[in-house]
Amino acid sequence: MRNQLVDVLVEKGIKDKTVLNAIREVPRHLFMDSGFEGHAYQDKAFPIAADQTISQPYTVAFQTELLEVKPQMQVLEIGTGSGYQTAVLLKCGAKVYTIERQLELFKKTNLFFKKMNYRPKKVVFGDGYKGLPEHAPFDGILVTAGAPEVPRPLLSQLKVGGRLVIPVGTEEQIMTLFVRTSEKEFEKKEFGTFRFVPLLEDKN
């Protein structure tokens, strides 16, 4: 079923072999509540705990491809959710820091990582708007919730040459890539339209 999913993603335009390989290897059904197992290899988003969603495989693949993950790269993920995107980043060889603001999801997914022996560098309960200054700068930052605006701290926590992949917008979001070209300059590119649950600020 995972091979079929990879075929669908290739048809939709995903090319990066590392990303496709990761999708082929990560058992997505284990990241979902058992009632949804039969749906796990359809290219669809599904509900998880705390009214959140596990992103659509195409979206995960598209964002990971835009990030241009290389082994050992330091990546910050905002919105741990089910942990599926985290696992895909880990399979690509990244060192991953991930932040989740819903306590229930943070606890559940943190336990799940341990059980499955997935080893992100750090799983943090907190507000991703602020990034993770104590571990900055990052080679890549990936936001998995729709941001009404681009949080400044995330731009400032990128290395020169680093990439921020962030869906920007309220009702729907434009996938946006920022590449830090120098201390003070960023190159911005926009891709297609996507739909994410909202990036929410300051709950804690």
Catalytic residues: 55
Is there binding between residue 166 and ligand SAH (CB under 6 A)?
Answer: no
Distance in Å, CB of 198 to ligand SAH, minimum: 7
Interface stretch with ligand SAH, choices 3-11, 18-26, 160-168, 195-203 (CB under 6 A)? 195-203
Is there binding between residue 139 and ligand SAH (CB under 6 A)?
Answer: no
Distance in Å, CB of 135 to ligand SAH, minimum: 15
State which residue, 26 or 177, has the beta carbon closest to ligand SAH: 26
Lookup: tokens for 193: 């339209």
Rounded distance between C-alpha atoms, residue 180 and residue 139, angstroms: 10
Give one DSSP letter per residue of 39-51, joined into a string. Answer: GTTSS--EE-GGG
Interface stretch with ligand SAH, choices 22-30, 96-104, 111-119, 171-179 (CB under 6 A)? 96-104
Rounded distance between C-alpha atoms, residue 52 and residue 102, angstroms: 9
Helix (H, G, I), strand (E, B) or coil at 170: coil
Is there binding between residue 145 and ligand SAH (CB under 6 A)?
Answer: yes
Residues sharing a CB contact under 8 Å with residue 174, sequence separation 6 or more, in sequence order: 167, 168, 190, 191, 192, 193, 194
Distance in Å, CB of 148 to ligand SAH, minimum: 11
Counts for the chain of helices (H) and strands (E), in that order: 6, 9
SS3 track for 66-102: HHCCCCCCEEEEECCCCCHHHHHHHHCCCEEEEEECC
**Binder of ligand SAH out of 58, 123, 127, 157 (CB under 6 A):** 127
Is there binding between residue 59 and ligand SAH (CB under 6 A)?
Answer: no
Distance in Å, CB of 24 to ligand SAH, minimum: 17
CB 99 within 8 A of CB 142: no
Residues that bind ligand SAH in the complex, under the rule CB under 6 A: 52-55, 78-79, 81-82, 84-85, 99-102, 105, 127-129, 144-145, 197, 199-201
